[in-house]
Amino acid sequence: MTNPFGTTISSEEVLDNLGFFDSWEDRYRYIIDLGKELPAMSDELKTDDRLVRGCQSQVWLEPIPSDEVLTFEVDSDAHIVRGLLAIVMSAYNNKSAQDILSFDIESFFAQIDLLKHLSPTRGNGLRAMVQKIRAIAEATKS
């Protein structure tokens, strides 16, 4: 299964779709459904060195660099966190390091109104995911 995030499922599409829902209960359902669209990560990749520190749930992140774009294999043991990963992937997957670094993720989260609706530990975990991806992009940029 190819990862649709960053290609067929873009940050703009996620933003538009979340705007259709009036209640956060419906938005959460949509976010969980987004997580179901993420391809499964093989168990061999779910190692301690791929864990994102600072997340309440277990989150694994494996960058797959190429000459032009970064793609990521991601997974979590929690449904809502898989959905949050999907949102992050809609912005960052299949993008150049420069595109990742120039994307205003805080503005994106603000437009979704996401961080207000997450527990502080989930919000910190979300920021930890973003920081790890940005650090990978920074390291591959040079």
Task: Say if CB 110 and CB 126 are below 8 A apart.
Answer: no
Q: Name which of 87, 69, 98, 89 is nearest 15 in CA terms.
A: 87
pLDDT at 66: 81
pLDDT at 52: 94
Q: Which amino acid is at 115?
A: L
pLDDT at 68: 87
pTM score, whole prediction? 0.93
Tell me which of 3.40.640.10, 3.90.1010.10, 3.20.20.80, 3.20.20.70 is the CATH number of domain 11-141. Answer: 3.90.1010.10
Handedness of CA 138, 141, 45, 94 (dihedral sign): positive
CA Rg, the chain, in Å?
A: 14
- The residues annotated as belonging to the active site are 55
pLDDT at 142: 62
Task: Say if CB 9 and CB 37 are below 8 A apart.
Answer: yes
105-124 pLDDT tens trace: 999 999 998 888 888 888 99
pLDDT at 61: 96
Q: pLDDT under 50 in the chain at which residues?
A: none
